Structure formats: structure tokens, C-alpha cells
Amino acid sequence: MTVTYSSKVANATFFGFHRLLLKWKGSIYKLLYREFIVFATLYTAISVLYRFFLTGSQKRFFEKLSIYCDKYAEQIPVTFVLGFYVTLVVNRWWNQFVNLPWPDRLMFLISSCVQGRDEYGRLLRRTLMRYVNLTSLLIFRSVSTAVYKRFPTVDHVVGAGFMTRYERKIFDDLKSPHLKYWVPFVWFGNLASKARKEGRIRDSVDLQTLLNEMNKYRSWCSLLFGYDWVGIPLVYTQVVTLAVYTFFFACLIGRQFLDTDQGYQGHDLDLYIPIFTLLQFFFYAGWLKVAEQLINPFGEDDDDFETNWCIDRNLQVSLLAVDEMHMNLPRMEKDIYWN
């Protein structure tokens, strides 16, 4: 379920964003607390080791090592690598959202262009609409783990009413080594063409508007599929992950408080708790978590798209619009500004 907080930030107020820091759901704390515990534990372990278990010369070596690590930790370009990478991930994520297929445009057209309030007319409109929903369901099944869990087999698709038994038979009989999510669209096109011949769709203009809209819908579907199929190249993700992990590894040793008596530069204070390093952990690991969460927005994270809800909403709404509401118009009345 997407975490919506826009109403909380409608106005820019006194320390406006601080309220967001107190949320738990979808928050940085919920996403990071496990990593944070691991990091803090390791840091403490090393600190304890250094303070209590190392001999004098080991301590001297560790101190040099620590300074060495600290020096290189600063040279790792975590900020830039993350900045460029997260920008890429966020853009892809938003494009996926924008290309979620909604059948609303098609249902308006089907409701107004496929004629006949008799049973055959209703059947036509409902079937066309069902094909549209079926296609997006087939796509969602291969894109979203949540949807796949709900519809693990085509039987479940049939059972949920998206496909009839007879359609399933024809679907299964089609021999193709490739994915067949495009099949309902061929049916849609052919059925619309048939309706045109039978006069249920008035003329080619109406028909082509429908087909064009269908093709738009298909493009959304296939774009989603494409985003899933061709992700950000693995190397890029690995480069970024390596950079961040290396940085934290270097911090574990390099940000230890060293014996103030040794007089190392910048090591004249022992706070025990490396407050700024822990905060840095939050920034960088949190930034990486943004990427982790958004790189596949069809999972079950707090912030992922609710595809199962979409599927239900689309079927319910679109059948309602093309059947019950078809030509069921409110009586026209003069509005209150008439003259």
C-alpha cells in the first residue's frame, strides 16, 4: 500500500517536514532498523575489541589502520554515485506508475459507442471490457509478485471471472512458444470489428477510436512488461551497492574513537557513540533503500503499487460503467445559473 503523506505537507509550516520524521509506516526507521542494529553491533564489537582486548602494539597498528580507513572513506564518491543512481531509479519508478493501465478511457468509449440496451448489447460491452481487464491481469501476473501469489495459475484467472472456460480452452490451444498476453487484444479487435458489421458500432470512426484506445492500453501494458524485463543493468546496481557497502565497511574501522592520549590529529575526543557516523549511515543507507524500494514497485513493500487493488477496482468499475450505466442518464435539468 502506497504511503500517502501529501495531505500532511499541504502547507509549508513551522519545521514542516519534522512531522514526517515521526512516521513509522514506510519510514526510514522501519526499512533500516535491522541494518542499523547490525552496523551498530559491529561497530561496538570492534570498539570493545580495540579498547579491551588488543595489546599495546596491536592498538598502535589498529590506530594506523583506522586513520587509513578514515582517509579513504572520505574518498569514496558515495554521494554522487547514489545521486545519479537514485535519480535514475526514481524516474523509472514514476514512469511505471504513469503507465499503469487504467481502463477508464476505454470504458467511456465502449459505453457510449457500442449500442444496444438488450442482452446482446450488454454481453458485447461486458465481454470487450473483460478482455481489456484480462490483458492487464496477464501482464500484472508476470510483473508483480503480489498478483502472481494471488493468481498462481490460469485456473485462478478463470475462477475470478476474468476469463471463461471456453476462452481458456482457445487460449491454451494457441500454439506459440511466446507469452500470450496479447491474445485477448486480438479477440477485442475482432469482436469490435464484428460489432461494427452487425451495426452495434455505428461506423469506422467509432471503431477506430476504440481500436486506437485499445492500442494505447496495450502500450501501457507492454511498457510495464518492458520495465520488468529490462531493468537497470546489474552492473550499475552492483557498482552502487559496492560503493555504499565499502564506505560503511571503511567507517566501521575508520570512525572508531582512538586513544586520545596518542595525540592523533582529530582524535582528541572520545564520545563512545559515533553520532555523526550513525547519522551518515541513515542518510546513505536510507538513500540506497529508496532505490531498493523503488527499483521494483510491484513487490510488497510499504510503498509499492497496490496492483491487486487496481485489478479489482478496474473490473468492478468498468463493468459498472459499460453495463448498468449505459445510457442510464440523469434527467437533464436547468442548472442554477440558467440565465
Least distance (Å) between residue 49 CB and its own copies: 18
What is the x/- site pattern for its own copies, positions 293-312, by CB under 8 A?
Answer: xxxx-xxxx-xxx-------
In the range 159-178, which residues lie near its own copies by CB under 8 A? Answer: 161, 164, 166-167, 170, 174, 176-178
Q: How far is the CB of 57 from its own copies (least distance, A)?
A: 13
Q: Does 330 bind its own copies (CB under 8 A)?
A: yes
* CB 120 to its own copies: min, Å: 8
Spatial CA neighbour of 240 closest among 287, 278, 282 = 287
The C-alpha cell 546496481 sits at: 237
Q: Terminus-to-terminus CA distance in the chain, angstroms?
A: 48
Please provide the DSSP assignment of 233-251 as one string. Answer: -HHHHHHHHHHHHHHHHHH
Show contacts with its own copies in window 38-57 (CB under 8 A): 38
User: What DSSP letter does each residue of 248-286 carry, written as one string?
Assistant: HHHHHHHTSPP-GGG--TT-----SS-HHHHHHHHHHHH
**Interaction mask 197-236, its own copies, x per CB under 8 A:** -----xxxxxxxx-xxxxx--xx--xx--x-xxxxxxxxx
Is residue 181 a contact partner of residue 138, using CB atoms and an 8 Å limit?
A: yes
Residue 154: CB minimum distance to its own copies, A: 14
Cα–Cα distance, 210 to 188 (Å, whole number): 10
Could you tell me if 39 and 248 are in contact, meaning their C-beta atoms sit under 8 angstroms apart?
A: yes
Instruction: State which of residues 111, 136, 256, 307 lies at the interface with its own copies (CB under 8 A).
Output: 111
CB of 52 to its own copies, least distance (A): 23
Binding its own copies by CB under 8 A: which of 86, 116, 150, 308?
A: 86
Cβ atoms of 258 and 66 closer than 8 Å: yes
Alpha-carbon torsion (76, 78, 84, 89), positive or negative: positive
Minimal distance, residue 155 CB to its own copies, in Å:
14
Under rule CB under 8 A, residue 9 binds its own copies: yes
Identity of the residue, 61 or 199, whose beta carbon is nearer to its own copies in the bound complex:
61
Nearer to its own copies, 109 or 137 (CB): 109
